[in-house]
Every structure is written in C-alpha cells, then in structure tokens.
Structure 1
Amino acid sequence: MKYFDIMSDACKDVGLSFNKDIYSKFDQYKDMIKFWNEKINLTAIVDDEQIFKKHFIDCIKIFKFSPLKEAKSIIDVGTGAGFPGIPIKIMKQDLNLILLDSLNKRINFLNEVVNKISLKNVATIHGRAEDFSRKPEYREKSDAAVSRAVANLSVLSELCIPYIKVGGYFVAMKGPSVEDEIKDGKNAVSILGGKIEDVIKINIEDSDLKHNLVIIKKIKETPKAYPRKAGTASKKPLR
C-alpha cells in the first residue's frame, strides 16, 4: 500500500473516489507490466514509484475533463501497455472500453491484464486504427476516444476522430508544450469534423511533471474520405 495516499490524492483532485480494491488492481497491473516488460518492450519506466506517477496518475488525470466521467463507451487508440485505457477502466468499471493496438504481443499482454484484474466489457483489437474506423461497427460509435500515443495532433486526430459519435470527444494526452501542435493541427481537426474546445493543464502529485489534455469536440460527421489508408496520416499529415 506504499503508493495508496498519492493515488488517493490524485483521485480526489479529479473528483473520483479511491479504495483498497482499486489500489490492488493498480498494484497487480504494475507487477504485470514489470514481468512482461522483460519479454516485450512495453515501457522504459520500470521503477515502481515512476510507474505509479508517470503512468497511473498521469492517466487518472484525464478525468480533469469531467465529461469523460459520463462516457459510456471509450476507445483507446494506440494503447500500447494499456495507457490511458486500463487506468480509466479501473476507475470507471461500468464503462465499455476498446483497446486498439497494432502489435499483437501487446494485445496478448492486455488480455492477460484484463483477465487477471477482472475487468469486464473490455474488447482488445489487434490492428491499424485506419482500418477499423472504416468498419460500420466501430465508425462513429464511441462516446469518446483517448490517446497517449506518440504522434502529432494532426495525425492523432485522423486516427481517432472517425471513431467518435457527433457530440462526443477526443482527448489527446500531450506533453508540456502543445501550442505549435495545436496551431498546426487546427485545420486537420476541422476537416475531420472536430473543434478544439480546450487545453487543460495537468500536474502530477509530488513531482515536477506537467502535461496537457487537448479537448476536441466532434461537431459533425467525419467525411467518408477519412481516415486515409494506413500510414498516410503520418507521411502526409493534414494541414
């Protein structure tokens, strides 16, 4: 229970309750990250304290955008080791969650986590974001899309916005300096049916870490031409 208090403080900051059962799920998740990380590359962060701060608390802070607490369905695009999707699900267990990643080894890891810590209504998808958002069962079906993937806002928007219902949100988790990305990505967001609504600054307890949540509201349907075929968004970002 070493990191219980700092996790509890982070949850209080975003208006969520925290208890020993929730902490236990995070602790088991941490152990699985460390175990699997020896076999496949999940994260460069392997110290317990840093996993709690730089991964778990960072992801919990996405609830600083309070409408996310009301979402019934969320897709995490390019989830990697499950960030931010699994921490979101641990905190909000009534949620329908889709975890999407292009590497099957990571999907195998995520399936183990979901089973081990007893998370219900989680679908894991191995594939490219561009391919699945063209399928009718996924296109414009989620209340929100989230991503902590390493790509600029223009690219991420093309990968994520097609999944969201009109009226829903895309929340992009970004580092401390996002001004240029926002400036460069504004037109792309508009083309894809979104509108940048807010940038929320995030602080991580007991650290100097500062991040941003870029909040994009989906205000109209994404044109059928998007997303373009796999790999195009990163090679030729919309401007």
Structure 2
Amino acid sequence: MSNAESPQSPPQIFWRIDEWFPDLSPEVRAGLKAYHDELQKYNRTLSLISAKSVFVADALHFADSIMATKAIVKSNSHIDKVYDFGSGNGFPGVVFAIMNPKVQVVLVDTDVKKCEFLNFAIQALNLKNVSVENKNIEALPADSVKWAICRGFGNISKAILMARKIVVKGGSVYHLKGEEWGIEVGEIPTQLCSIWSPSLVGEYKLPVGAVKYGVVRTEKIA
C-alpha cells in the first residue's frame, strides 16, 4: 500500500508535564495525569475543552494552571481555602487542589452537567479537599469568600463586580489572564477601583509558544 493509501494515524494527545515540571512530586504528577485522562474521556460528550486544545491540553490548560498556581502560592502562603469562580472544566481549581492538598478548594459553576463531571472526577481522583457548588457566584453568602481564583470567567471588571458582595474586605480574587491583562486592568471602572486594588502577581510563558500569561490580583480594600 502506498503512503497515499495508508490510513492516517490519529493525532497524538500529548502529555509532557513530567518533562516540564520535574519539581512536582510523583504523587502530584500522577494526580494531574489522572485528571487529564478523565477530562479526555468525558470531553467527547460534555465539550469541557475546545476540540483544538484537546491534543495540547497539557500545555494550554495544565501547564497554565500549574504555573499560575505556583505564582499565587508564592505570593500568598496564607491561603487555606480558595473558591474557583466559574470552574467549568476544573481549571485552575482541580489543578490547584492536586498541588495543594492542605488547601480546601470550592469549585463554583452554574452548569449542571459540568458540576456532575467535577463531582465524578473528584471521587475518581479521591480528592478529599475539593467540593462543588452548582450555583451562580452571586448566590454565595455575603462576606463568605476570602480567596478566589478564576480563569476564562470574563474580564476582570465583570468578575469583581459579581464578587463585590461575597468577598470580604482584605480578601482577593486572582485572575488568570493572557497578554491583554494590562488592558483589562486599565478598563476597570473608577467606582470599582475605589473598592478593589489590582496588582500583577506574576508573568510567565508556557513551555511551548511565546505568549505571555499573567496572574492579576484584585484585593478588596473597602
């Protein structure tokens, strides 16, 4: 059979986390791989990640969440409980939980099916420090959140507007952003700037590609 007639091999699904992050413990890397397996399995029916990112989820989703988690924890070692606003596919909340088993992580999302997946994945991975709240973040009790993270939840202004009643004074929301983070900070309305103080926690590049990513912290000051 000629090459032209040969059946095409399915595209390779990459997993390079062990190579990129040898500093992570074997237990953490095994947990991340297990989550990757569950994500690939259920993505066919739930569209947890885009079809274009399925084969490089290790870079676009896992490496991004790993590097952001490191930046957040380095900047704030006092986090003992964190909410993942609009968790959806579990990024970065599940990754944060696997890397920090002593931190309680609450995954919040309005999508019933995705919350069902998250609950299943938590059980499959035996994550004792994770819970799921199937609700809008604005339905959380007032002043109930001290630390929160979000990725792909909308722009910074939208996130802090929705979080204004539930985050306590002195609490913070950490936003995982691409190169446009500076533009989003500049677009925060003046009235929100009197309540929230933004700062850059860290910038990083993924192990592949040249795009810079950033973690922006908005601290509630009033």
TM-score (norm 2): 0.84
For the Cα contact (< 8 Å) 1:199–1:215, is it kept in 2?
yes
Q: Choose the corresponding residue for 1:162, options 154, 165, 170.
A: 165
Q: Choose the corresponding residue for 1:209, options 208, 211, 221.
A: 211
Matched, 1:114 2:117: no
Tell me how far 1:161 sits from its aligned partner.
4.3
For the Cα contact (< 8 Å) 2:87–2:108, is it kept in 1?
yes
Tell me how far apart the structure 2 counterparts of residues 41 and 74 of structure 1 sit (CA, whole Å).
Answer: 25
Q: Choose the corresponding residue for 1:6, options 3, 20, 23.
A: 20
Tell me how far 1:199 sits from its aligned partner.
5.5
What residue in structure 2 maps to residue 229 of structure 1?
Answer: none
Matched, 1:173 2:180: no
Identity within the alignment, %: 21
Tell me how far apart the structure 2 counterparts of residues 53 and 69 of structure 1 sit (CA, whole Å).
Answer: 25
Query: Following superposition, which runs of at least 4 residues in structure 1 exceed 3 angstroms of deviation?
Result: 160-163
Cα distance, 1:207–1:7 mapped onto 2, change above 3 Å:
farther
Tell me how far apart the structure 2 counterparts of residues 163 and 57 of structure 1 sit (CA, whole Å).
Answer: 29
For the Cα contact (< 8 Å) 2:138–2:166, is it kept in 1?
no
Q: Secondary structure at the match of 2:40?
A: helix
What residue in structure 1 maps to residue 100 of structure 2?
Answer: 92
Cα distance, 1:39–1:188 mapped onto 2, change above 3 Å:
farther
For the Cα contact (< 8 Å) 1:154–1:188, is it kept in 2?
no
Tell me how far 1:218 sits from its aligned partner.
1.7
What residue in structure 1 maps to residue 38 of structure 2?
Answer: 32
Matched, 1:144 2:147: yes
The number of residues matched between the two structures is 204
For the Cα contact (< 8 Å) 2:16–2:58, is it kept in 1?
no
Q: Choose the corresponding residue for 1:64, options 48, 58, 71.
A: 71
The structure that has the greater radius of gyration is: 2
Q: Choose the corresponding residue for 1:81, options 81, 86, 89.
A: 89
For the Cα contact (< 8 Å) 2:85–2:153, is it kept in 1?
no
Tell me how far 1:131 sits from its aligned partner.
2.0
Tell me the C-alpha RMSD between the 2 structures. Answer: 1.9
